[in-house]
């Protein structure tokens, strides 16, 4: 295989390259993440940089992340049969998600300035996604917990009979309290 040499690139891309001839040494400074010169980065066209990373001191961003985590864990607790914890985490995630979407920035702004996640500028997209995902998973966690409680309330006689049964035969007698449908087949006590 022939040796292919890369074309020589200018030293502007190499932060460790020596300065060009005739130019004095300068102390090192980090480059911006954008296409332009030093200092250009993600942000508005007028050169103002928006927050490009997650800032744990910002309550709006923190609540968006909390909403996602609490909603996800609430959904898992609902699936694994611990509806009380799922309901609690779902309610917290619902609160945090709504407050993240409606929140106000910590520093005072002009009356017509955007509020909530819109005040974050370019960094709002991942936080908005986290808040909305937290709302969706919180809703699912609350629905799972409520359906579990509704099922226990609707078939209370079956659950009381099953919990009070002292023998396996008495426990299987409780199956007569269930309806003859798919739900009854799922809840039925097996031998």
Query: Is the Cα torsion angle 135, 136, 142, 145 positive or negative in sign?
Result: negative
Helix (H/G/I), strand (E/B), else coil: 43: strand
Taking CA atoms, 74 is separated from 7, 83, 91, 97, 133, in Å, by 55, 8, 9, 14, 13
Task: Answer yes or no: is pLDDT of 13 > 80.
Answer: no
Mean pLDDT calculated for residue range 51-60: 72
For residue range 94-152, what is the model confidence (pLDDT) as tens digits?
A: 999 999 988 776 665 566 666 666 666 766 778 888 999 999 999 999 999 999 999 88
Question: Could you say which DSSP state residue 179 is in?
Answer: -
More confident residue, 142 or 154: 142
The whole-number pLDDT of residue 147 equals 93
Banded model confidence at residue 177, pLDDT cuts 50, 70, 90: confident
């Amino acid at each position: 295989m022939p040796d292919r040499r890369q074309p020589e690139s200018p030293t502007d891309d190499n932060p460790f390259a020596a300065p060009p001839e005739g130019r004095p040494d300068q102390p090192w400074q980090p480059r911006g993440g954008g296409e332009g010169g030093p200092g250009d980065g993600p942000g508005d066209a007028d050169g103002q940089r928006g927050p490009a990373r997650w800032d744990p001191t910002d309550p709006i961003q923190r609540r968006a992340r909390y909403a996602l985590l609490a909603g996800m864990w609430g959904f898992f607790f609902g699936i694994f049969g611990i509806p009380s914890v799922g309901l609690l985490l779902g309610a917290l995630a619902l609160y945090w998600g709504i407050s993240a979407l409606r929140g106000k920035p910590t520093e005072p702004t002009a009356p017509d300035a955007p509020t909530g996640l819109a005040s974050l500028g370019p960094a709002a997209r991942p936080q908005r996604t986290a808040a909305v995902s937290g709302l969706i998973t919180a809703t699912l966690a609350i629905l799972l917990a409520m359906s579990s409680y509704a099922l226990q309330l609707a078939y209370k006689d079956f659950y009381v009979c099953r919990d009070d049964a002292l023998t396996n035969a008495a426990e299987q007698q409780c199956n007569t309290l269930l309806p003859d449908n798919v739900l009854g087949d799922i809840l039925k006590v097996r031998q």
